[in-house]
Structure 1
Amino acid sequence: MVEVKYALDTFYFLVSGALVMWMAAGFAMLEAGLVRAKNTTEILTKNIALYSLSCIMFLLMGYQIMYGSPEGGWLPNFSFLLGDEHSAESIKAGNADHSLYSDFFFQVVFVATAMSIVSGAVAERMKLSAFLMFTVVLTGFIYPVEGYWKWGSGFLHTLGFNDFAGSAIVHMAGAAAALAGVILLGPRTGKYNQQGQAKGIPGANLPLATLGTFILWMGWFGFNGGSQLALSNIENANAVAKIFVNTNAAAAGGVIAVFLYTRLRYRVSDLTLILNGALAGLVAITAEPLTPSPWVATLIGGVGGLLCSVSITVLDKLKLDDPVGAISVHGVAGIFGVLVVPLTNEGATMTAQLIGLVCIFAWVFTTSFAVWWILKKVVGIRVSQEEEYVGMDKVDCGLEAYPEFTTVSGQNGR
């Protein structure tokens, strides 16, 4: 019976991890749909490269920093590579719930998700080489340290901070790193007029962005459901089922709330805001997808979507140019999700939730800002105005995503 339980929970971990890995495709499609045609190939290259680098860096050092460190501490150990797999004797003795490698696989796709959040926010004007250099540092060091504080049984875990599947640890952390980059990078050329008002820069492929959103929605069942960590008994099976329902309800709530918001405020149904409403709802419920009722989960998702929509407008007024709305979706909705956990989870306290948010944001934003600043001074992080005008596809990749269409560069003979 112990061996069957071990096998079933290991299999569930692997399937959940595969679903989360599929979210990498969702981010790639969403971002490719929301940027201009001349930057599509570059952002697709960025997404597959960041996923691969994340896997290598987490294998090399990130996993051991996050899970091989002392309980209750704030400073992790700096060890390298994975440990040995559980022995048959250890499994039969009941000392292991699932394969070590399945745990690694499930965790590595989470760190790739955090890095994907940064990708969209700095799109259309950042050097690909600088972005990938930052990826190495975030996935190998910055993310594992704050992940250790909670999921590795560090001081935030001891304090009682609750973040079931990573509204703060993954999503807000990715948004904090993105915000630091956006501040140092500056807005896209032409985003703001002489009066400082934001100008819309439509994405090239909204069907692709919609497909990406649905892929992310699907992958989120592995993201949240897999975070239950087990499926092999009645209690866990029921918990996973409820998590699936609540995750789906929150996304739906985000969509409907933002649909109504855009109809009332703009007299149109703004698809880009609606797509981000779905994602914001998913981010908001991620902090605690088990304890709310489905109707409360729907409400949490709806409020998360509305906050995201308002945040996108506010960031535009602050001249923080985020082409895909990643900072609002993952940062603002992530903070909201963490703060509402005590409303449904009696074991959570607002004090612990606030301390966790402050510590994670301060760590990720400060270290990310320092890394971005060093990269800016040493290698530069922004392409030239001429390169930005021509498009990142030709500058970084030498290949256009839509060669059969007339592009800006084609029109100007460049």
Structure 2
Amino acid sequence: MGELFYINSLWIILGAILVILMQGGFVLLEAGSTRMKNAGHIAGKTIFSFGIASLVFWAVGYGFIFGENGNFFIGLSEFFYSGAEVEGAAYSNAAFFVFQLAFAGISLAIAFGGFAERAKLSVYLLFAILFSALVYPVIAHWIWGGGWLAEHGKQDFAGSTVVHLTGAMAALAATILLKPRIGKYNADGTANNISGHNQVYTTLGVLILWVGWFGFNAGSTLGVEDGFFGFVALNTALAAAAGSVSALLISWIVLGKSDITTMLNGTLAGLVAITASCAFVETWASVVIGLIAGIIIFYSARFFDKRKIDDPIFALSVHGVAGVWGTLSTGFFATPELASVGKPGLFYGGGLEQLGVQALGVTASGLFAFVTSFVLLYLISKVLNGLRVTEEQELIGLDLSEHGGYGYPEAFAQTTAPDASGTTFTTNAGQPVRD
């Protein structure tokens, strides 16, 4: 094994580390975007669900995706992956396994956005197993493992469909079955704003995700020999920047105020959209893709809200709608020089063929992820006598009802004592409040 083997392997492991670090971004993003009484629960379930996904991916997920003895639908070997290396390979297979494991964990984290603040902990556990074994690997095999969409030339360099749309469709199934959070919608159908408890956490989470995305996209080159990873990273950075700016501006124009949540979602939408196309389009196109993603996300979130689809983390818009747009975008912007998979896009003389393949891919993958997740969650609800915690548990928060303690214990501890003048004060969240 030559020097390039070791450098490529190190690059892939670095990419895996960055993608795994994105779990920390999701911890801050989701916890900050929800209420204080659920923060510890949301942070903790992210860790244990990634642990479950890792074990299931080792046992069956990797084999279902990349197993050589498979067919157009699923792979059928490499179960309980041993880590054995292949002579003459360009990089370590074990490093590649860890990299792919990290992707599976991200898709599950996206799916769990649709469960936030109302699902039982046992539902997270069971669905993590089933999603990691029966949903994500099937779609990944279709596109990345030599399945039927790969045979059609489906372009999805780092996972706008495989990772993001798959997770978002599972989140949609969950939001429908779980129904909205208490107090989200009024009897007349109007929505109430349930604000997250810490916008600084949310913002820091987005920044961590942005940094981790360079491992996500640039790491997917799986090598350093030609320096192409730098070009992929450039496209990734430009699309994220464009998404953040366009989302901020559209919210400012429409609402009269620049909405920070929309800006943050626009940043993520730009990243999600460029994930499929980062290796297939020129830099100017990455800016256009990001700009459009930032605008789409603003209207998409409002669309779902008006239809009483309670999506606390905006998974459907950020990862679903932007994932669809990003996947379709290669059908417009893929260049003859960069289209290492499939064919050039419409704007480069390729006609509608590649756009049709992309549309077929998002339709088939989205439907499979949604229907399969819906059925699995329905079966789980029968086994567990429902997916949702009781009304009382939801009102007091999942930190206390599911884990026996708050993520912010001082904030919820109340003590009453008189001051020097004899006036009684109640201490709550560290602040004295007169009775």
RMSD: 1.8
**Quick check: 2:236–2:286 contact (8 Å CA) kept in 1?**
yes
Question: Match of 1:404, SS?
Answer: helix
The structural deviation recorded for 1:79 is: 5.5
Q: Deviations over 1:89-129 (max 9, x none)?
A: x2xxxx31111110100000000000000222210011111
The structural deviation recorded for 1:294 is: 2.3
**Quick check: 1:131–1:381 contact (8 Å CA) kept in 2?**
no
Cα separation, 2, equivalents of 1:407 and 1:242: 52
Question: Match of 2:319, SS?
Answer: helix
Please state if 1:363 is matched with 2:368: yes
Q: What stretches of structure 2 of length at least 5 have no aligned partner?
A: 337-342, 345-353, 417-425, 429-435
Please name the residue that 1:397 is paired with: 403
Alignment of 1:184-223 (within 5 A): 184-223=177-216
- 2:271 is matched with which residue: 266, 275, 282? 282
Q: Deviations over 1:161-208 (max 9, x none)?
A: 110000001000000111011111100010001111111000001100
The structural deviation recorded for 1:377 is: 1.7
The structural deviation recorded for 1:273 is: 1.1
**Quick check: 1:149–1:156 contact (8 Å CA) kept in 2?**
yes
Number of aligned residues? 400
Cα separation, 1, equivalents of 2:166 and 2:68: 20
Please name the residue that 2:377 is paired with: 372
Cα separation, 2, equivalents of 1:61 and 1:74: 15
Q: What stretches of structure 1 of length at least 5 have no aligned partner?
A: none
Higher mean displacement: 137-146 or 186-195? 137-146
Please state if 1:226 is matched with 2:232: no
Please state if 1:53 is matched with 2:52: yes
Q: Deviations over 1:239-292 (max 9, x none)?
A: 211111110111111110011011111111111111111000000000010232
User: Which letter does structure 2 place at the counterpart of 1:76?
Assistant: G
Please state if 1:294 is matched with 2:308: no
Please name the residue that 1:334 is paired with: 323
The structural deviation recorded for 1:406 is: 4.3
Please name the residue that 2:75 is paired with: 76
Please name the residue that 1:19 is paired with: 18
The structural deviation recorded for 1:72 is: 6.0
User: Which letter does structure 2 place at the counterpart of 1:396?
Assistant: E
**Quick check: 2:49–2:128 contact (8 Å CA) kept in 1?**
yes
The structural deviation recorded for 1:146 is: 1.1
Alignment of 1:122-271 (within 5 A): 122-231=115-224, 233=225, 235=226, 237=227, 239-271=228-260
**Quick check: 2:64–2:74 contact (8 Å CA) kept in 1?**
no
Cα gap change, 1:84 to 1:387, in 2 (>3 Å): closer
The structural deviation recorded for 1:71 is: 6.7
Cα separation, 1, equivalents of 2:253 and 2:83: 58
Query: Please, what TM-score do these two structures have when normalized by structure 1?
Result: 0.93
Cα separation, 1, equivalents of 2:194 and 2:9: 45
Cα separation, 1, equivalents of 2:209 and 2:374: 28
**Quick check: 2:75–2:145 contact (8 Å CA) kept in 1?**
no
Please name the residue that 2:97 is paired with: 104
Cα gap change, 1:322 to 1:293, in 2 (>3 Å): same
**Quick check: 1:46–1:119 contact (8 Å CA) kept in 2?**
no
Question: Match of 1:7, SS?
Answer: helix
Structure 1 runs of 4+ off > 6 angstroms?
Answer: none
Cα separation, 1, equivalents of 2:260 and 2:114: 18
Looking at CA atoms only, which structure, 1 or 2, has the larger radius of gyration?
A: 2
Question: Match of 2:2, SS?
Answer: helix
Query: Please, what TM-score do these two structures have when normalized by structure 2?
Result: 0.89
User: Which letter does structure 2 place at the counterpart of 1:367?
Assistant: T
**Quick check: 1:38–1:407 contact (8 Å CA) kept in 2?**
no
Q: Deviations over 1:134-160 (max 9, x none)?
A: 010111221111111111111111111
Please state if 1:353 is matched with 2:358: yes
- Tell me which of the two structures has the higher relative contact order, counting C-alpha pairs closer than 8 angstroms and 6 or more residues apart: 1
Question: Match of 1:405, SS?
Answer: helix
User: Which letter does structure 2 place at the counterpart of 1:404?
Assistant: E
